[in-house]
Amino acid sequence: MTDSDATSQLSIDGGTPTVLRVPAATDRLALVRALVETALYIDDWALDDVIDAKVAVDEICSQIISAAAEESSIELTLHMSSQGVIGEIRGELVPDVTLKQSTFGWRIVQTVTDTHTISYDEPLPGAASRGVVIGFSKFRR
């Protein structure tokens, strides 16, 4: 099953997504972790699944922060449904940098999420950054 096939199995109930935008700085990771944890606990998720999602989001955000353009931000969007969560994390990277998918941290992301995708915006000539979007989904167990 491809990532898009698996993600399409999660139907979004049309509710308003939960969104958080913070500066791309390590001292803001606690806010991101708290949002993920709180949103999933409110939705009555099991402890293990909450921890898995929180670890995945933390690693994704950490990688974006490590390559973030100066004065940029990270935006986390969570679409909750009765079957799971679809998340999207956006950031701005310095030009010509890609996120490392061969690291131990990225292997954790692959292990604890059901799907994950990375897409990069085409950099504009002379631009100081380019966008990255990491999507993921986690089914409820």
How far is the C-alpha of 11 from the C-alpha of 8, rounded, in Å? 7
CA distances from 4 to 60, 114, 115, 137 (A): 19, 11, 8, 10
Tokens of 74: 């990270």
Percentage of residues in the chain having pLDDT higher than 90: 74
- Return the CATH number of the domain spanning residue range 3-139: 3.30.565.10
Long-range contacts of 33-38 (CB under 8 A, 24+ apart): 33/57, 33/58, 35/76, 35/78, 36/76, 36/78
Percentage of residues in the chain having pLDDT higher than 70: 90
What is the tens place of the pLDDT at every residue in 65-89?
Answer: 999 999 999 999 999 988 899 999 9
How far is the C-alpha of 2 from the C-alpha of 32, rounded, in Å? 28
What is the tens place of the pLDDT at every residue in 19-64?
Answer: 999 999 999 999 999 999 999 999 999 999 999 999 999 999 999 9
pLDDT number for residue 10: 52
How far is the C-alpha of 66 from the C-alpha of 6, rounded, in Å? 29
Mean pLDDT over all residues of the chain? 89
Q: Please state the domain extents for the chain.
A: 3-139
Q: Is this prediction's pTM over 0.85?
A: yes
Could you tell me the end-to-end alpha-carbon distance of the chain, in angstroms, rounded to an integer? 18
How far is the C-alpha of 141 from the C-alpha of 62, rounded, in Å? 26
What is the tens place of the pLDDT at every residue in 1-29?
Answer: 445 554 445 555 557 899 999 999 999 99
